[in-house]
Amino acid sequence: MALCCPVAIGLTKGHRHHCHRFTKCTNCVWDVCGFAPDEGQPVELFKISKDKSALSFIKKRVGKHIPAKRKNEELSNVLATMGEVVAKKD
């Protein structure tokens, strides 16, 4: 693969970076299909305020602590926005 600029220095060094492409795809998939099977149980645990259990479940599936915390935050944000949408609808 070719570099985006002939000299690999500065802010654009290396390969081109497409910003937020994957998050847009993920949000679209969540809207259409719902959550993956390994995301469904933590969402249910968040609903009954079992945050620590949800984090440990995600950590068991993901494997590392930092990515598990990232996934935990992501799912809790999605659940919070879903609650806001339902509250606005009523």
Specify the CATH number for the domain of residue 62: 1.10.10.1760
Q: Can you tell me the distance from the alpha carbon of 37 to that of 20, in angstroms, rounded to the nearest whole number?
A: 24
Q: Number of helices and strands (H, E) in the chain?
A: 4, 0
**CA 51 – CA 81 distance, rounded (Å):** 17
Phi, psi of 4 (to 5 degrees): -75, -25
Encode pLDDT of 31-75 as tens digits: 778 788 888 899 899 989 899 999 999 999 999 999 999 999 999
For the record, the structure tokens of 75 come out as 């799912």
Residue numbers of the domain that contains 73: 34-88
Structurally, the chain folds into a number of domains equal to 1
Q: Look at residue 63 and tell me if it is in a domain.
A: yes
pTM score of the predicted model: 0.65
Supply 67's token pair.
């990515």
pLDDT for res 3: 56
